[in-house]
Structure 1
């Protein structure tokens, strides 16, 4: 990023290191209802309890899926924050309405940064305030998308995969209109809040990308596929993969901190 003379870059504001990736299957036609409740009623209450709401999204390929991420300062902090929120007045007031939209809310991956500094940098990414937001804004389509790829690995392969990805692949990910936001591996610590299940047996590596538009994504993927370095990496990694990679193409809600602001990504230029 080109800064004006004498300008000081904004310091990084890293999201907490313990992260949940949550995928909710909703009743048909109820996604916007849940987003209205979540964005309008549940964000501030969770953050006041001690967690960070990183991003929330509509899945572009599954019309009844709501995907979101939140972070905690550690596993003990996760236990305390979740106990405070789910035992508190905000959830008591809105839980029935939120739960009424859901078929399943147990598809949850517990994650940690894949290498030092691989977590989200949230500097320059303020969330729209409730005063600036309204129902039409919360439901509007936004041009930027976030793409999460979930690579399923054999047990013990996460660190090797992550090390190679950091040195060989991460430098190739940034291109015009595209930026690698973060990378994670499974956090294998015991679930510190058993009331909320997690997919504890998973071994995954996850990359999170931001694209200026849905059209930018396939162009970027095609360019990567034609890269010899990319081909060499995946040929070597193939024996460690246990099932096909999952790709989530996500449209951020208007109060999501991820995806809505280009300057979120420019902090890493």
Structure 2
């Protein structure tokens, strides 16, 4: 792999941590080259995560991350590391610190100019500030968490530096959304979701294509994304859409969960 996909992902997590409303109790910090986000009142138990590290994982790095969470009063968090950074004895290091392997994500990427176009009967366009509140609620509804302060966090990313949100409309109704963060030569695709009643009509494929083109115009050579794996037993439309768009699976990354002993 000749580009760093971990840092680009960490940058959009950092952005969300900075723009999150006070009701979520979010704090975000940088540790070495990585990003550590703690969301005290996360309604979906997802956003407290440490990621974006580019140096080999050591006991000292793990202890520094976990000490940060303990000082901040975190009850639980997830740690994410590119597999090529893990030492041979990582399983032992993880067990000694109460880290438990949960699920596995796939990291995907490819050249921005090579992402395939995708037809759809929806109108695809950038999200304006006037659409921001609707965009936040549509994205979170697509993820199954409507009506929470997380919608305000997504809303607040509209107009943020290097952020390019797009949406799909059925007439005047916004039905799907997806975000793009430009980080140097890398465009990170994230926060893509579709309202349940409008799935299967190509909205996300078209949004992948539109964001890849926006990334290319912004000077990116590459686009990256991450999502859950897709198997015959448990297909993942997000993963399949990305593969059809021309993104290759770069590697698989285990999500390690830490829980405070007193939690």
User: Shorter-normalised TM-score: what interval?
Assistant: 0.3 to 0.5
What TM-score does the superposition give when structure 1 sets the normalisation length? Answer: 0.32
Normalized per residue, which structure has more strand? Answer: 2
What TM-score does the superposition give when structure 2 sets the normalisation length? Answer: 0.33
